[in-house]
Amino acid sequence: MRSIPFVVSLALAAAAALPAQSVPCFDTSPNNVFDDNISMGGPNLLYAVKFNSGAGLAVFAAEVFSGERVATASLGIWSHDAVNNRPQQDLGTGTWQMTQLDCWQGALLPSPVLLAPNTDFWIVFGPPNGAQSPIERVNTASTQQYRGSFDGGQSWNGPFVRYDHKFRLYCGPKFPGSFITLGSYCPLGSRTLNPRIAGCIATIGGSLDLTLTRGEANTTAVLAIGFSDTVTSGGVPLPIDLTPIGATSCSLFIDVQASGTAMTNGSGNASFSLPVPAIPAIVGNPVFAQWFQLSPGTNPLGLIASDYGVAVIGD
């Protein structure tokens, strides 16, 4: 089994003369800093932030910095009602499956939205209840107006000015990528271990950030990486039930091609960052991941396994 950097660089993809990585054409607070103490209230919230287009734009995709809930979220652009200073009409909204980790994530719009130059618009976020707010910091000097609606945009609270918000738009073809969790972790009876995997959306030239939560504390966790969840490279169908070898009710869900290690903290949590090559040919390719740990006494083999995740690489 080879190391993770080798596999990602060589087995994941071959170089190709394709368009370069997408970059935002408009953004607000585009860094990875956020206020972790502010979450979105709901349910059925639409959260709108006003912005001016500046130069004319043709927007293909939108992203928000959020996370902490695995559920469908939406992000779109609305026109501006100048008389009432509020969102007026939905010009295009896309949806995606939000990831558990806080990171940049979003969706393609159904079709490009054309923004006239020097015109006010609203970016409208439909978060799952309790999701991380797309806010870098509280800033009482901010001029970013925001409003909220709980009836699909028929009425709006506000406007308010209090925060620096975190949104970005893309003006060109883009593949946003995705991360979803599948399968199940091992049932562990009376023990409180519930090993779960989570990840952020990965793009070429960036990283695939993965976490383990509620595993065995203060010990090594092994992260397995593969490129299939249907069959191993030897032709064995997946998943593979590990009960016959003593890991009761545990399963191997992926074709393991590489592995890495991380130490868990006192809460049984660990993280691993996997570099993603800046190779356009890997856009759209899936990467599968699953965590394993030794846990003496949990089952005859003394092994626990998480559910698994699949990351589809974006640009």
Tell me the pLDDT tens digit for each residue of 202-246.
999 999 999 999 999 999 999 999 999 999 988 999 999 999 999
Ordered by where they begin, the domains of the chain are: 2-15+175-312 (2.60.40), 26-170 (2.60.120)
Average pLDDT over residues 78-98: 97
Confidence band for 4, pLDDT divided at 50, 70 and 90 = low
pLDDT of amino acid 275: 93
Q: Output the pLDDT for position 296.
A: 87
Q: Provide φ and ψ at 260, rounded to 5°.
A: -145, 165
Mean pLDDT of 65-83: 96
Tell whether the model's pLDDT for residue 75 goes beyond 60. yes
Q: According to the model, what pLDDT value does residue 114 have?
A: 96
Note the pLDDT of residue 7: 43
pLDDT in tens, 19-54: 446 789 999 999 999 999 999 987 899 999 999 999
**Considering only CA atoms, which of 5, 66, 13 is closest in space to residue 225?**
5
pLDDT at 43: 86
Distance (Å, rounded) from C-alpha 225 to C-alpha 5? 11
Q: What angle do CA 74, 47, 155 make, to 5 degrees?
A: 110
Report how far apart the first and last C-alpha atoms of the chain are (Å, whole number).
28
Q: What is the mean pLDDT of the chain?
A: 90
pLDDT at 17 over 50: no
